Amino acid sequence: MGAYVFDNTWEKERERLAGIEALYDPGTTRHMDAIGVGPGWRCLEIAGGGGSITQWLCRKVGSEGSVLATDIQTRFLDGLHEPNLEVRRHDIVNDDLPTEAFDLIHARLLLEHLPGRDQALKRIASALRPGGWVLIEDLDWAPMLSSPPRVFLHPETGKRRSVRVWRGLVRVMQAAGYEAEYGRALPIELINQGLIDVGAESRSMMFWGGSPGTAAPIFSLEQLRQALLEIGGLKSREIDKEIARWEDPNSAMMSPVLVAAWGRRPEAAAREAGSVRMPPRTEGTIDWLKTMPLFADCTPAELSRIASHARRIDVAEGEALTREGEPGETFYLIVTGRASVSRQSKRLAVLGPGDYFGEIALVEHGPRTATVTAETPMRVFTLEADDLSTVMRDVANVRERIDAALAERKRAQEDNQ
């Protein structure tokens, strides 16, 4: 990891890291919550820095979980005293990690600095247990580096100088092997590692001079001042004026764009004709499941689990999907199209996108209570009986919604008798 330009032993490094935490921790923990990090998870925090995310993870996974936090210099991590925490000096490019060991691996503002980032990411993917998640966050400086630069500054006085200073900072980091637009490449890099359920989000925050987040730009410039003069082509007065801007409560700027990308290691490889192939990707299925009220409160981890069981099928107009009185082993979720519900040849309802049916026979292990016929061409997702049972067991809010709908449908059925 020798290309990392910021010195962990610098006297004001903890203050610089605190500024980064103020800017980016809320978004990082939001993504971790969305993934579903919770009690019992085994987590790896790579280049843990000041330790804020490490400590958050320790408290999130509880006494049944564990967190391994690594860095090439652990002076700040060593000050944490969480009972489920292990701190280890480690170089992700050159040092091995245990394979298939972690439910979540996180790294922020790290891979972009490493000439050996491809090897590091491969090692990270191998350390995920089957079904485990990775969350990687890195910057994309393209708006600052474009011509003309696409930056927000208030007031705009001194904008050319500010752009010159920050481009100088990027040049200093690039001289050590930094990839200034690595953030935008992260989703493809995760896909190339064979991960599934890959997603990404870019975020940039406006912050005012003198606020906690300004410690990040101010102390970054202070620490690298000599390199900015020698490599960045700047003058000391330019650096001073830029620092003064961020100490001025009447100034505002947008932070550099941070790209967060996440993905999941497949549960297992599928075997076909004696060869091993990757299981089908589920990102498109997840996108559709997100639109369905039944899954409105599901985390990405839960949606991923559901999508791994779902099968998409196309249905022709006039085709009966269920028949009253017949046994049934399939649960249906409507993606597109329309279907009619009838009982004893009496039309009771019309179902459309987001609706579902077929759960009564599966939950009560009885016959179909109605006939459902496609009124238009349809696309549906199906879950077989065992898969629906697994989803209802593992995803509490889905079970509660289905139980409530089941009770309502039984009441309606009784009213119609």
Domain of 63, CATH number, reads 3.40.50.150
Residues 93 and 131 in one domain: yes
In terms of pLDDT, which residue wins out, 272 or 68? 68
Residue 7 lies inside a defined structural domain of this protein: no
Residues 104 and 239 in one domain: yes
Q: Is 141 helix (H, G, I), strand (E, B) or coil?
A: coil
* Sequence-ordered alpha helix ranges (H) in 275-355: 283-290, 300-309
Residues 305 and 245 in one domain: no
Contact 85, 58 (CB under 8 A): yes
Residues 265 and 288 in one domain: no
pLDDT tens column, 285-318? 888 998 999 998 888 888 888 988 899 999 999 9
pLDDT value at 160 more than 80 = yes
Number of domains in the chain: 2
Determine the Cα–Cα distance for residues 255 and 130; give it in Å rounded to an integer: 35
Tokens found for residue 354: 């987001």
Residue 213 lies inside a defined structural domain of this protein: yes
- In single-letter form, the type of residue at position 253 comes to M
Q: Across-strand partners of 314? A: 379
Residue 311 lies inside a defined structural domain of this protein: yes
pLDDT tens column, 342-389? 999 899 999 999 999 998 888 888 899 899 999 999 999 999 999 999
pTM over 0.85: no
pLDDT value at 273 more than 50 = no
Residues 297 and 173 in one domain: no
> What are the backbone dihedrals phi and psi of residue 30, each rounded to the nearest 5 degrees, phi first?
-60, -45
Residue 178 lies inside a defined structural domain of this protein: yes
Q: What is the pLDDT of residue 232?
A: 93
Residues 251 and 294 in one domain: no
Residue that is last in its domain, among 230, 246, 270:
270
Residues 226 and 332 in one domain: no
Determine the Cα–Cα distance for residues 321 and 209; give it in Å rounded to an integer: 62
Q: How confident is the model at residue 233 (pLDDT cuts 50, 70, 90)?
A: very high
Residue 3 lies inside a defined structural domain of this protein: no
Residues 206 and 346 in one domain: no
Residue 5 lies inside a defined structural domain of this protein: no
Residue that is last in its domain, among 246, 270, 294:
270
Residue that is last in its domain, among 244, 270, 296:
270
Q: What is the pLDDT of residue 125?
A: 96
User: What is the chain's mean pLDDT, rounded?
Assistant: 91
Residue 324 lies inside a defined structural domain of this protein: yes
CATH number, domain containing residue 312: 2.60.120.10
Tokens found for residue 388: 């629906």
Residues 64 and 104 in one domain: yes
| 382 Cβ contact partners less than 8 Å away, ≥ 6 residues apart | 310, 311, 312, 313, 330, 331, 332, 333
Determine the Cα–Cα distance for residues 145 and 153; give it in Å rounded to an integer: 15
Residue 148 lies inside a defined structural domain of this protein: yes
> Among 387, 333, 381, which residue's Cα sits nearest to residue 356?
333
Q: Given phi > 0 = left and psi -120 to 50 = alpha, else beta, which region is 325?
A: left
Residues 220 and 341 in one domain: no
In terms of pLDDT, which residue wins out, 369 or 110? 110
Contact 391, 329 (CB under 8 A): no
CA torsion sign for 254, 112, 195, 36 is negative
Q: Which domain holds residue 295?
A: 282-415
Q: Is 40 helix (H, G, I), strand (E, B) or coil?
A: coil
Tokens found for residue 300: 């990405």
CA torsion sign for 139, 8, 67, 115 is positive
Residues 188 and 97 in one domain: yes
Q: How confident is the model at residue 408 (pLDDT cuts 50, 70, 90)?
A: confident
pLDDT tens column, 91-102? 999 999 999 999
Residues 254 and 345 in one domain: no
